[in-house]
Amino acid sequence: MKPVLCIQARSSRSAARLAVIAAGIAMLSPAADAASKTYTLNTDFSLGLLENLNYLSVPNQLQVNLVGVGSQYIFVANHNEDSVSKFDTRTIKGPGGNTLAPGKEVARYKTYAGNPGVSNGGQPSRIAIDVDGNAYVLNRMPGIGAPPYLMKILVDTALDRNSNGVIDTSEESNAVTGIQAAEMKPLSSNTNAGIGDERVAWIAPVGTGTSFGRSVCIAPDGKLWVGIWNQARYYRVDPSNGATLPIGPSNLPYVQLTGWAPYGCTVDKNGILWSANLQYSGLGRVDTNTGTFTKIDSPYGAYNYGIAQGNNKIYQAPYAGGYGWAVYDPSGAGSWDRNPHSYSGAGIAIDGAGDIISTDYSGVRKYRASDKALLWSASEGGTTYGVMIDGNNDVWVMNLSFNTTTKYDGVTGAKIGTLSTGAYPYVYTDGSGLTTKNQTVNKLGTWTVVFDSGAAGTQWGKINWNDSIPSGANIEVLVRASDNQAALDLQNYQPVAKNVSFNAAGRYVQVRTRLQMNSSNESPLLYDLTVNSAVSSCDVDGDGDVDSGDVSAIRAAIGQVPSASDPRDANGDGKITINDARACALKCTRPSCATQ
């Protein structure tokens, strides 16, 4: 079994309440001007995509997982071919439903317009994932007389640069497993003007002069922090366009590090950036609010490749010293501890349960955080660096020697399967977003669902929902609509308020609902969510819905002559009769036709 999901107590809901909702659904007319859908049962919530949410620990409602997970997609930097692969990590059943495949590569994006694989090329190796699942890929770019290029890859939006109404992007489009060169879009220059892929939002240089990018991570405010190796600097970057931003009250152009070359980073909830360094035995500490830098000595080895956070601690994978991994507890005066087993570490990740996954240059090991016991280990027979945790808390290991990634069951360590990557998958940062969504901010999850009204040009009206939100927690709902479901990603999401009219049109409406815990790990609860189209008839009081107040107003007007487009003349026969009242009663958009 997978780790236990959220077990937070749920406010009671009676069977009578569910019956009322069901009765309201039954009263809806199938007419196009009253399209409506209520999601409230497990089967309803299962119609959408859940990330870090569940309806299992307490049925028929959504809550954030107590044990956090990464995203459905992971991104892998292919160092020697200047590309980054996007993998759908959902396990796929093979022929007969017996064999399992770990997932599939669904896209591959070029990261640099020069000659791939050369010693002075782009060399992507650092990735960060934001709370929406978008990927930021940093090219190292050594020795070419230019700063490193950072790029943003969109996961569920796109930019229609050629205005053809289609998303022109790299994607799996033939019968051959994996992404081939013909399925990738061109990158004609290292500028936004040279982007051929409409999932790539921007490409931007960070810093000045000849420099070497080796560190990227995301702060609680969503801003990016990019570390420049040879210049010993951290830059703050705007995720919307790649522009460099001032730092702290003094508006510093960058944080200048003393005796420190950044090599991987992670940012905690307090806005403290923790940086690894190859030569130095310890941690670099940058306050992203002020730009203040300090060093923290460690007794446990140098050559710290991987860095991760979890259990309110910072973990490192030192190659030197044979410690496998070391851990720093920043509480109080600060203290260090280490793995009791001896080996050379490389990549490191902390899963949603707080357990430690470490690569050892030839395989992967999982340790229980509470007592440092080895839970399982596996050998790959070649050089392993990076490790990531996916949306099911399963483990993905990057195999440099074989140009592959292998997926293991996170609980048992059983090998699920291996997939080809691009050349030299040299990445050991968090390419799944587990850290950003569960550690850098209060834990959050997202439910995304598409509803088909059945009619082109449907005008959407309101979204209503019932919830319970502890102090400090939050529920956010956003929508977008299109007549073409495949083109939804070309539309921007807009936030909506509970039961307040919004303006969107299209046969398909997509709703993205985000639940976020408070600092005490208390989850908000979503009991139900109802999508309603705008009402073109029967809405006598013009409040965007049809209820018993509208029906009563029509009854009171029986015998009167309606005006043009009068909402009281529901059947359009030029009269106001009891038939109009009956027709509108069938179009009530509230349960039991109630006014509230």
The mean pLDDT value for 518-546 works out to 89
- 435: its two tokens: 């850290």
Percent of the chain scored above 70 by pLDDT?
91
pLDDT digits (tens, 9 = 90+) for 158-206: 999 999 999 999 998 888 888 988 899 999 998 999 999 999 999 999 9
pLDDT at 29 over 70: no
The mean pLDDT value for 414-418 works out to 94
Angle at 114 (CA atoms; ends 112, 116), nearest 5 degrees = 80
Q: pLDDT value at position 391?
A: 93
The mean pLDDT value for 395-414 works out to 96
DSSP β-bridge partners for residue 395: 389, 408
Query: How many angstroms separate the most distant Cα atoms in the chain?
Result: 92
Closest Cα to residue 158, out of 209, 111, 196? Answer: 196
Higher pLDDT, 117 or 204: 204
Confidence of residue 525 (pLDDT cuts 50, 70, 90): very high
The mean pLDDT value for 266-272 works out to 98
Q: pLDDT value at position 211?
A: 84
Q: pLDDT value at position 537?
A: 82
Please classify residue 563 by burial: count the beta carbons closer than 10 Å to its beta carbon, then call 0-12 exposed, 13-18 middle and 19+ buried: exposed
Average per-residue pLDDT for the chain: 89
pLDDT at 151 over 90: yes
- 544: its two tokens: 């965007």
When mean pLDDT is compared over 144-153, 315-324, 439-448, 574-583, the highest value belongs to 439-448
pLDDT at 319 over 90: no
The CA distance from 381 to 19, in Å, is: 58
DSSP β-bridge partners for residue 482: 508
The mean pLDDT value for 40-51 works out to 97
Confidence of residue 118 (pLDDT cuts 50, 70, 90): low
Contact 139, 214 (CB under 8 A): no
The mean pLDDT value for 377-398 works out to 94
Collapse the DSSP code of 512 into the 3-class scheme (helix H, G, I; strand E, B; otherwise coil) and give the result. strand
pLDDT at 267 over 80: yes
Segment (H or E) for 395: strand 395-399
- C-alpha dihedral sign at 416, 49, 52, 309: positive
Confidence of residue 534 (pLDDT cuts 50, 70, 90): confident
Q: pLDDT value at position 25?
A: 36
How far is residue 490 from each of residues 154, 458, 479, measured CA to CA in Å?
11, 18, 13
Q: Which CATH number fits domain 73-143+169-432: 2.30.30.100, 2.130.10.10, 2.60.40.4070, 3.40.50.740?
A: 2.130.10.10
- 311: its two tokens: 């259990």
DSSP β-bridge partners for residue 480: 510
Closest Cα to residue 344, out of 368, 363, 327? Answer: 363
pLDDT at 31 over 70: no
When mean pLDDT is compared over 121-130, 293-302, 516-525, the highest value belongs to 516-525
Q: pLDDT value at position 117?
A: 55
Q: pLDDT value at position 314?
A: 97
Please classify residue 370 by burial: count the beta carbons closer than 10 Å to its beta carbon, then call 0-12 exposed, 13-18 middle and 19+ buried: exposed
Segment (H or E) for 461: strand 459-468
DSSP β-bridge partners for residue 387: 397
The mean pLDDT value for 280-290 works out to 95
pLDDT at 78 over 50: yes
Q: pLDDT value at position 97?
A: 63
Higher pLDDT, 588 or 551: 551
CATH code at 15-68+452-534: 2.60.120
Higher pLDDT, 574 or 29: 574
Closest Cα to residue 35, out of 452, 519, 481? Answer: 452
Q: pLDDT value at position 96?
A: 63
Please classify residue 506 by burial: count the beta carbons closer than 10 Å to its beta carbon, then call 0-12 exposed, 13-18 middle and 19+ buried: buried
pLDDT digits (tens, 9 = 90+) for 206-229: 998 878 899 999 999 999 999 999
- 147: its two tokens: 């700063």
The mean pLDDT value for 486-501 works out to 96
Collapse the DSSP code of 361 into the 3-class scheme (helix H, G, I; strand E, B; otherwise coil) and give the result. coil
pLDDT at 5 over 90: no
Confidence of residue 280 (pLDDT cuts 50, 70, 90): confident
* Sequence-distant contacts of 539-545: CB under 8 A, at least 24 apart: 539/567, 540/567, 540/568, 542/567, 544/461, 544/462, 544/501, 545/461, 545/462, 545/589, 545/590
pLDDT at 374 over 50: yes
Count of C-beta atoms within a 10 Å radius of residue 509: 25
CA dihedral (129, 133, 134, 140) in degrees, to 10, reads 20
Q: pLDDT value at position 562?
A: 87
Domain ranges in the chain are 15-68+452-534, 73-143+169-432
Phi and psi at residue 63, to the nearest 5°: -145, 155
As a whole number of Å, the end-to-end CA separation of the chain is: 43
Contact 476, 441 (CB under 8 A): no
